[in-house]
Amino acid sequence: MAVSVPVLAVIVALHLIAFVFAVGAERRRSTATVKPDEYDEHTYCVYDSDASTVYGLSAFGLLLVSQVVVNGVTKCLCFGRGLLTGTSVTTCAIFCFIFSWVTFLGAEACLLAGSARNAYHTKYRGIFGGDELSCATLRKGVFAAGAALTLLSLVGSVAYYWAHSRADTGGWEKHQNEGLGLATSNYTEQQQHHQNTGGFEKA
């Protein structure tokens, strides 16, 4: 199976857009400030925009679509028509398949957990002048880790698709072996028939 340029372009584009969204989510993480109420009796948390959650979920969705595309084209390595056996290309395809899935799952976990945590807002109030109120916010670096794993997933997916395309026989190897076996069997039968007749055909 030859490498399809449109499929490769879709995989790369989806990963890169997901990476941009993940970086945007890191830069637009929700922050909170403690403000007193109108009577100066309690304090509460005031949160800014939740754009980071939207960016994180968008990156999550795009990365998921890209993974579906690459595994749909390659039949998820397990349901294809066969790979060349005993070659370094097949070994590379298997390794890249595992690597792409590990980095994909890591990126998705970071993006989903970061989005959920960023959307969580502290609901309670604190007593003004008492203990300092703690406003729940997402720690720095979660979306950045998701962005880094997205790039690694891109490398793994492209390498897996390329190696799988090189190692995919499209069923040719199986049919070729069947054809060779049939030809050998016919040749052996002809030899035995020739020996039994002493090299001459009986009338």
pLDDT in tens, 131-157: 566 777 888 899 999 999 999 999 999
Can you tell me whether residue 54 is helix, strand or coil? helix
CA distance 110 to 144: 9
Angle between the 142-167 and 88-119 helix axes, to the nearest 10 degrees? 160
1: Cβ–Cβ under 8 A, 6 or more apart, which residues?
164, 165, 168, 170
Whether 108 and 139 map to the same domain: the answer is yes
CA distance 100 to 24: 23
pLDDT one-digit tens code per residue, 143-199:
999 999 999 999 999 999 998 888 776 544 444 444 434 444 554 555 555 555 554
The per-residue pLDDT for 176 is 42
**193, 131: one domain:** no
Strand 126-127, strand 42-47: pairing: antiparallel
By the 8 A CB rule, do 29 and 52 touch? yes
Whether residues 94 and 13 fall in one domain: yes
> Do 63 and 14 lie in a common domain?
yes
Do residues 149 and 187 share a domain? no
22: region left, alpha or beta (phi > 0 left; psi from -120 to 50 alpha):
alpha
Q: Give me the number of domains the chain comprises.
A: 2
Q: Are residues 127 and 192 in the same domain?
A: no
Please write the tens of the pLDDT for every residue from 44-80.
788 887 889 999 999 999 999 999 999 998 887 765 5
Give the pLDDT of residue 159.
Answer: 93
Domain that holds residue 191: 171-203
Element (H, E) at 35: strand 32-36
pLDDT at 124 over 70: no
Domain co-membership, 102 together with 72: yes
Q: Do 90 and 30 fall into the same domain?
A: yes
DSSP conformation letters of 60-129 = HHHHHHHHHHHHHHTGGGTSSS-B-SS-HHHHHHHHHHHHHHHHHHHHHHHHHHHHHHHH------EETT
Q: What is the mean pLDDT of the chain?
A: 79
* Amino acid, single-letter form, for residue 6: P
Task: Please check whether residues 185 and 105 belong to one and the same domain.
Answer: no
